[in-house]
Amino acid sequence: MQKEPKAKVIETPVEYMGMWVAWNDDHTKIVASGQSLSKVRDEAICKGEPKPWMDRVPNDNELYGGGSFVA
Amino acid sequence: MKFNYELRPSKPYEGGLPIFEPIVPIELLGPTGAIRFRALLDTGSHISVFPNISASSKHLTGNSSKLRGVVAGNEKLIFEGRGISICIGSDGEKYVWEAGVWFTEDDTHRPTLGVLGCLEYFNAEFRGQERTVTLEPAENFPGKVVSLWERLPFAGA
């Protein structure tokens, strides 16, 4: 039987798909969100979160990850 | 250093299958700035690549050369960040190393830790059932390991 993980798992709400979100220092609360990385970060800082964790939530059509060089 | 997988959102028409991913909180440290990301640890990515930070953090990346790359399936110009270090912290320790990282010209993709600049320096253990990933510095790790406990004034007393 598969054991349930004991560790706490961070869950990002579905309404943030395709957006940048800024988390507070201990990753418990989203303090800002939007389409622009720099604007979302600036908004989080203005709201009193000087060092937010920036997270890009993937969208349905973001099927591929990763990067490589083109020959 | 152990990190929990994160549950990424998915819509009901995908079948409702939960998608857990190894996301690692990191800090990029540049000559004149720093920014924190939650980055995907991706063994399929050749490079460690980040979105264009622009505006307030432009100095983080410095001057650099450009190359063509493929990021998240799309061909893009990518430019090398110079003098950039990555800091990962957990369990009372920090790993800090100067890393060859790349930036795209836009901000539409996920911060990704790939082989070059990151995984090449670690022994990584992905435990799918537990939904955790453990990173230990390999012998070629070029940075330093900082114990947060040793920095406390009463340590060793």
Report for B10-14, B74-78, B107-111, B145-149: range of highest mean pLDDT = B107-111
Q: How far apart are CA A62 and CA A57, in angstroms?
A: 10
Asked whether the beta carbons of residue B71 and residue A67 sit closer than 8 angstroms, the reply is yes
Q: pLDDT tens-digit profile of B76-113? A: 788 888 889 999 988 789 999 999 898 888 888 899 99
Q: What is the ipTM for the molecules in this complex?
A: 0.85
Cβ contacts (< 8 Å) between B109 and chain A: which residues? 56, 62
Could you report the per-residue pLDDT of A28-50, keeping only the tens digit for each? 999 999 999 999 999 999 999 99
pLDDT tens for each residue of B17-72: 778 899 999 999 988 789 999 999 999 999 999 998 764 444 455 555 667 677 76
Q: What are the residues whose beta carbons fall under 8 Å from the beta carbon of B46, sequence distance 6 or more? A: A66, A67, A68, A69, B114, B115, B116
Average pLDDT for A13-40:
94
Residue B127's pLDDT is what?
95
Give the phi and the psi of residue A43 in degrees, each rounded to 5.
Answer: -65, -40
Inspect the interface and report whether the beta carbons of B112 and A16 lie closer than 8 Å: no
Of B40, B42, B31, the residue nearest B110 (C-alpha): B40
Q: What is the pTM of this model?
A: 0.86
Q: What is the chain A residue with the closest CA to B48?
A: A67
Please tell me whether residue A43 adopts helix, strand or coil conformation. helix
Higher pLDDT, B148 or B54: B148
Q: Does A69 touch chain B (CB under 8 A)?
A: yes
Q: What is the pLDDT of residue B79?
A: 84
Six token digits for residue B43: 């063994």
- Flag whether pLDDT at B152 surpasses 80: no
Output the pLDDT for position B63. Answer: 53
User: What is the pLDDT confidence band of residue B150, given thresholds at 50, 70 and 90?
Assistant: low
| DSSP type of residue A51 | S
What pLDDT, on the 0 to 100 scale, is given for residue B38? 95
Q: Is the model's pLDDT at B7 over the cut of 90?
A: no
* CB pairs < 8 Å spanning A and B: 136
Q: Are A32 and B32 in contact (CB under 8 A)?
A: no
Query: For chain B, where are the E strands, in sequence order?
Result: 2-8, 19-29, 34-41, 49-50, 66-71, 74-81, 85-90, 93-98, 101-104, 112-113, 122-127, 132-137, 144-147
**pLDDT score for B36:** 96
Chain B residues lying within 8 Å of A70, measured CB to CB:
67-70, 75
Which has the higher per-residue pLDDT, B139 or B148?
A: B139
Chain-centre distance of CA B41, in angstroms?
7
Pairing of strands B101-104, B49-50: parallel
Q: Does A37 touch chain B (CB under 8 A)?
A: yes
